[in-house]
Every structure is written in structure tokens, then in C-alpha cells.
Structure 1
Amino acid sequence: MKILIVGAGIAGLLMYRELQRQGIEADLIEKQPALNNLGAGICLPGNAMKQLEVLGLKHAILAKAYQVKEVRFETHQRELLAKASLNEGVLASQPFVALTRSDLIEVLADGISQHIQFCRSIVDIRNNNTTQSVCFNDGAVVDYDLIIGADGINSSVRELQFAEPDLTDLEVTHWRFLVDMPSENLEPSYLVGNTDAFMFYPISKQQVYCYGQAANQQINALYSDPKKSMRAVFSHYHPSVVKAIESATVINQGRLRAVMSKEVYNKRCVLIGDALHGCPPSLQQGVAQALSDVLTLSRCLKNAYSIDMALADFKSKRLKQITWVVSESNKIIRLAKLGKSRFGRFIRNSLIRLQGPQNVKAWRKLMTELEANKCN
């Protein structure tokens, strides 16, 4: 079996490691000249940590990560709406942590970075009866039994091979950055405004991951200056938010989009990670769902009589959960948009007070499913 993994991001590195662990050889290519260590923070709920434990990576992650114990939802002026413990029930079985993206990439790339073929990308894929002929940017043509597209939400594999490659623009701008500030007694806090929100998430004793989003078309004109955009949106927030924005040195800005296609695979090309189910970070499920993809696909490949059977099995096992995660993540974005009116904000905030943090409810469901499946 000759396998090509496209993309050496989080999903691609995980996939390569797991195939290597199973004794399956693969080529791993990355279009950039080096690993992408840019970005801000990564949140890893319990279902991500459970699966990292299966891969033998949990302790390496914990050595670099910061553990949290509670989630809080607050108004834009930091008045408490609801909170939930992460140390009760099924959630208590695994730690909830956060770390910088660069630290996570460092752990995942340890021992395998020398195998990555950098500055290499796919130009075309030709479908044969049992193989896929891949045309690379250097002119080479190589046949593979299976292509795994792990190349992110803007996947070239999805663009080349799938009938519905387009992304859905959720009409929400987002910002991510790290800021140096004491995090003692700070737990993840989600501040909700009108059609905007801001998050504090500690990733060390002296550093906090900040995330902001706004469903406001007027800020499009400010795209060239992320800090100016954030000032325009969050100037009326609590002083701690304003101070964090002013302290930021690098702010990553973008648009929230979602993969709505349910194709999963086409012939012998299969998608994993954000290429398959990229969506808003409402549930912090990017890494967790990539891990589920990796573990499920590797088992399907190991147990099936053929690659075609393995891909069909992979789709049947993963489609229900990834559809739910994307739908639920998008639903939380729609819930945030209720804040356009005073009545809408009242309804939204009342739901938060009554039902508690939506992301914690989702984590309980996902952890319960994971325990039931006994992934280890």
C-alpha cells in the first residue's frame, strides 16, 4: 500500500505518526518551505486528550500545556451569566488544557520532521482503476494507492477531486493573538456582546490566548489593520479586553468559514482534519476531530480487505459525528447573532443562564460517546 499525505499541519503530522506506528509507510508533503508555527493558541478538551493518550502523546502535551478547571460565560462587562466545572462527571476523566500552536506542532513533529518533503504540492490528480497518479509541482508523476488530504480548510485535494469543494462564508470576522499577562485565578472566559464575543484562555502562568469575533459587515473596510478593527468592535468592552488588545503585538485576522460537503472521499482520495470538517472554533474541536479521523482511518485501513472498503467504513463511522460538530459549531455562531436586537440579547443570555455553557454540554456528549466506543 503506497500512501500520500498532503499537508504537514496538525492532521497530517498526526496521520503520518499513526501510520508509522501501524507499520504503514507514507509520503508526507508540505507546500511551504518549513512547518507552519504561526498562529496563536490551541484548546484541547478532554476528548482530544483522551485520543492523544492513545497515540502516546499525552504526557508530552501536558509538559507544555496549561490545565484549566472551569468555563465561564460573561457579559461584555464581565458580569457572570453561567459557569461549569470541567472536573465533574465524565469530564473529570481527562484534563482540559491549552498551549501555543507552535508548541503543539513541535510535539507532533518530534522525530518525523526529517521525513517531510517540503516545497512540494499537488498540481493534478488522475484517477486510474486502482491507483491515483499525482502530478507534483516539480513535474514528477507518482502513482499512489491512497491520497489523504490533510491540507486544511483551503484543501487543494478537495478542490481537485470533490464535486462540492466550496466553503460557506459565515459572515463573521475573527481575531486571534497571544498576550503576556498573569493568568493566576483566570479560567477560560467567554464574553458575549451584541453580535460579537471575546475569549480569554490561559495557556501558561504568564500568557493568555485571546480570541475575538464579530458578525459586522462594516469592519470589512478595516481589514488592513487588525488592531484598528478590534478597537472599533471592542472599545465598549470591559477594560481588561481593551488592555489585552492594546498589548497585542501580532494579531491574526480572518473570516469564519465552514466545510459543508459530506462527500468524505472520492475514489481513492479521502479528507481528514479541517479539509473534511473545518468550521468555527465554537467547540474547540479542530484537533479532537482530526484525532478521531486519524485513529478511525488507520484502523479501517488495517482491518479492511481493500482500500475501497476501508474508505466506505471510515465514512460510515465518522460522518454522523463530524456533521453534528459542524452543525453545532455553526449553530452557536447563529445564536451569537441573536444579539442584533435588545430582545434577541435577552433571549440569548437567558438561554445561557438556563442551559449553561453550550460548549461544555457538547464536550459532555462527545466524551460520553468516546468512552462508549472505548477508543483505547
Structure 2
Amino acid sequence: MTGDVRYGNDMRVLIVGGGIAGLTLGALLEQRGFSPHIVEKTVDYGGLGYTLALWPAGSNILKGLGMYGGLLGNADQLRTYTLLSDRGKQLHSYHMSDLAADYGPTYLIWRPDLVDVLQRSVSDEALRMGTSVTAIEQGEGSASVTFTDGTTGTYDLVVGADGIHSRVRELVFGDVPLTYHGMTGWAFWVDPSLATPGEAIEHWGDGRFVGLYPTDDKLACFMAVTAPEGSPDPVDQRLDRIRECFGGMGGLVPDVLNEMDDPEEMWHDDFYDLQMDEWVRDRVVLIGDAGHAILPTAGVGASMAMESATVLADELTRTDSAYLEQGLEHYVARRRDRVDTVQKKSRQLGSVALVDNSLLASLRDQSVKFYSQTRMEKYYEDFLSSEI
């Protein structure tokens, strides 16, 4: 090494955000000889969250980290995908066996369990909990960072992996508006006997949606309804609000409504996504939801975050601090089209699943009945077969 050029073990990389994207990147960099610093604002990860679909593009990354067994011990393989109408009439049921045979299985896993698997793949000294950033000042070839605990550090690269409400994005890119998609949702656990292991069941209603997703030995319920942005959701009124919104639905929904008992243990959030023209500014780069948040309707957000972390790790391995700009340009070039395509599909699927018009909902239901197994497979093959 000559001068101030750093590479490998010597390149100073700060990852802000110890979620799925940040932990994946940190683990991959450590595996390749780097010594990244990861800061996570929460003191501990806690237990609230929702169920994720982890497609082969995501789960295969865990194979490379030696953590695939941890996934299998906490997940349920998605074998059947069944769609029901608002009243509970089956519209279509799709088997996932052919896609699994060609590309690998898709798994359903509770987000905190996936985070736990990823956390075990990074060294204890790499991760600092209860810490975020308050300031980022960029100079010639470096970024100076001030942390919430008052300490400072200088880095060759700062990676914003701190979610859709990213503090790094705010500090470096300014006020980037999120796009609200007219939906709010809740997630909670229900009796596993309500569904068959390996079968995801979704009720597509008129401006409302209920999904049941088995994971390991548990069954997660995800409910969504169209609502104005920022609609209040007081905990003490939550159960009554949900029962009012979803009353009259058929299928498994009445059983789900009877299962609700602890509103404080429910995860709740509004549906936003984020599209940015740029993910890089000098020595700061955004990955995962911080740069390309995707609606949960597509079920691919976690896999996309892990993909982006993998591509960035790959590019960092093949550059150094002097030519980092080129590596970051390559990262963007490799990810841009794929991310844009998936975001577009997630928006389209969200608008279909929660169409807020009874006539359009009826037409949608009729279309789903004739949406063949072959067409479903083609829809997902475009995602599964593309290079990352």
C-alpha cells in the first residue's frame, strides 16, 4: 500500500443501520477481510415485526455466510399460494413446486428471526447498539461522522442502511419525500391451526386485504386497509377499528378477528415506498429501504435489500479508497434497472390487491380466476432469473 490508499482490511467502512441490509453487508465484508463498523439505533432488536418472504436470491446469500441452517430452523417453505375473495371464495390456488425446482425454495420467516440469524453472522465487536449519527461532513476522500453518543470517526465510506426513515439520507441528501400509497396495515400472531403449513392464504377484498403466512411453528396475520395518510391508530381503540374495517369478510377472517386480544403486541405502519434518482453522494451510499424502499405487497423487499448489500460488498472488494467512486458507480449500474422494475411491479400489485371500488374488485376477482399457473410462474421467473 502506498500513500493514503486503503483497501481490504484497511478500508474504513461505516454501516449505519443494523437491519437486514446492514447486517448482510457487514457479514459479507467481514468474510472478505474488511473490518466494518455497524451502528444500530435500537438498544435491542425487540420482538415486533412482520413475516417476510425470502426468495432464493436472498436465502442463497445466507448459504455463502454459512447461516442457511439458521434460516431453515426459523422458516417455513412456501409451497402453495391461495387467493380468496372478500367473502372467502377461492379465486385461485398456485403451487410453487416448479419454481422451487428451477430456482430454489422461497421461505416465510418472521423479520426478527431473520435479523437474529444475520446478527449471528457478524462479530460482536463490529456491531454497536443504541447508536446512530447526528452529523456527516464530507471532505476530500473521506467522511467525518458524529455519533449520538458524542464520539466521532472518519471513514472512507458511509453506508446508509437505516431504513425508510433514514437519518443518513436526511443528513446527506436532504428532504426526500416518501410516496404514500393509501394503505395502512397491522401484523400479529394467530392460532397456527387456522392454516396449513407451507400455504400462504390471501383474502383480496374491496379496499381491504388479509394475509395468513406460516413461519416455523407460528402463523402470522397481516391486514391492510385503504386509509388517508396519517390516520390515527390509538392502541386502546385498535381492536375496535380493525373489527370495523374487516367485519363482513368471509373465509378465515372471522376466526382471525376472534383471535385478536393484545393490541400492544401488534405491529402497525402505513405503506410508503421511495424512489430516488441518486443513491450515492461522494463518500455516502444508500442501500435497502434507505435508498429504494419497496411496498410489502410484492413480498421481495428483504431479498432486494440483501441483493443490494451483496452487490455493494462485491464492488468494494474490487476497489480501494482511491478509486471508490468507480466502485460505487458500478454498484448503481448493476442495481438500478432491477430495483426500478421490482418497485413498479410492487406498486401495480398493491393497486390490484387493495382496489377500493366494488365493481373493479369484482372484475379483478374474475381476472384472478383465469390467471393461470403458467402466467404466475412467468411473473416470478422474471424476478428469479435476473442477474443481480
Given the two structures, how large is their TM-score scaled by the length of structure 2?
Answer: 0.88
Correspondence for 2:151: 140
User: Which of these residues, 199, 208, 214, is aligned with residue 202 of structure 1?
Assistant: 214
* Equivalent residues of 1:150, 1:273 under 8 A apart: yes
The total of aligned residue pairs comes to 369
User: Is the aligned partner of 1:351 residue 2:362?
Assistant: no
User: Is the aligned partner of 1:310 residue 2:320?
Assistant: no
1:196–1:49: structure 2 CA closer, same or farther, 3 Å change rule? same
* Equivalent residues of 1:13, 1:108 under 8 A apart: yes
Correspondence for 1:324: 341
Correspondence for 2:7: none
* Equivalent residues of 2:40, 2:128 under 8 A apart: yes
How much is the aligned-residue C-alpha RMSD, in angstroms?
A: 2.3
Correspondence for 1:273: 288
| Displacement after TM superposition at 1:254 (Å) | 1.3
1:359–1:3: structure 2 CA closer, same or farther, 3 Å change rule? farther
Distance across 2 between alignment mates of 1:118 and 1:194? 42
169-178 or 328-337: which moved more?
328-337
Aligned 1:239-258 pairs, distance under 5 A: 240-248=252-260, 249=262, 250-258=265-273
Unmatched segments (≥5 aa) in structure 2: 1-10
Aligned 1:351-370 pairs, distance under 5 A: 351-356=367-372, 361-369=378-386
Correspondence for 2:185: 174
* Equivalent residues of 2:84, 2:251 under 8 A apart: no
115-124 or 211-220: which moved more?
211-220
Percent sequence identity is: 24
Residue by residue, what CA displacement relative to the aligned partner does 1:299-341 show, whole Å, maximum 9, x if unpaired? Answer: 1111235211110000000011111111111111222343413
User: Which of these residues, 294, 308, 312, is aligned with residue 297 of structure 1?
Assistant: 312
Distance across 2 between alignment mates of 1:106 and 1:184? 26
Correspondence for 1:27: 37
* Equivalent residues of 2:209, 2:223 under 8 A apart: yes
218-227 or 125-134: which moved more?
218-227
Correspondence for 2:201: 189
| Displacement after TM superposition at 1:162 (Å) | 1.3
Correspondence for 2:119: 109
Correspondence for 2:20: 10
* Equivalent residues of 2:45, 2:112 under 8 A apart: no
Unmatched segments (≥5 aa) in structure 1: none
User: Which of these residues, 70, 74, 78, is aligned with residue 60 of structure 1?
Assistant: 70
1:345–1:40: structure 2 CA closer, same or farther, 3 Å change rule? closer
* Equivalent residues of 2:24, 2:310 under 8 A apart: no
1:348 counterpart letter in structure 2 = R
118-127 or 95-104: which moved more?
95-104
1:180 counterpart letter in structure 2 = D
Correspondence for 1:97: 107
269-278 or 185-194: which moved more?
185-194
User: Is the aligned partner of 1:288 residue 2:298?
Assistant: no
| Displacement after TM superposition at 1:232 (Å) | 1.2
User: Which of these residues, 349, 352, 357, is aligned with residue 335 of structure 1?
Assistant: 352
User: Is the aligned partner of 1:75 residue 2:106?
Assistant: no
* Equivalent residues of 1:282, 1:359 under 8 A apart: no
Distance across 2 between alignment mates of 1:137 and 1:219? 28
1:362–1:37: structure 2 CA closer, same or farther, 3 Å change rule? farther
| Displacement after TM superposition at 1:24 (Å) | 0.8
* Equivalent residues of 1:40, 1:178 under 8 A apart: no
1:13–1:281: structure 2 CA closer, same or farther, 3 Å change rule? same
Distance across 1 between alignment mates of 2:176 and 2:376? 28
Distance across 2 between alignment mates of 1:140 and 1:245? 48
* Equivalent residues of 2:50, 2:222 under 8 A apart: no
* Equivalent residues of 1:164, 1:261 under 8 A apart: no
Correspondence for 1:214: 225
1:178–1:337: structure 2 CA closer, same or farther, 3 Å change rule? closer
| SS of 1:198 mapped into structure 2 | strand
User: Which of these residues, 219, 226, 230, is aligned with residue 242 of structure 2?
Assistant: 230
Distance across 1 between alignment mates of 2:197 and 2:156? 52
Distance across 1 between alignment mates of 2:212 and 2:155? 44
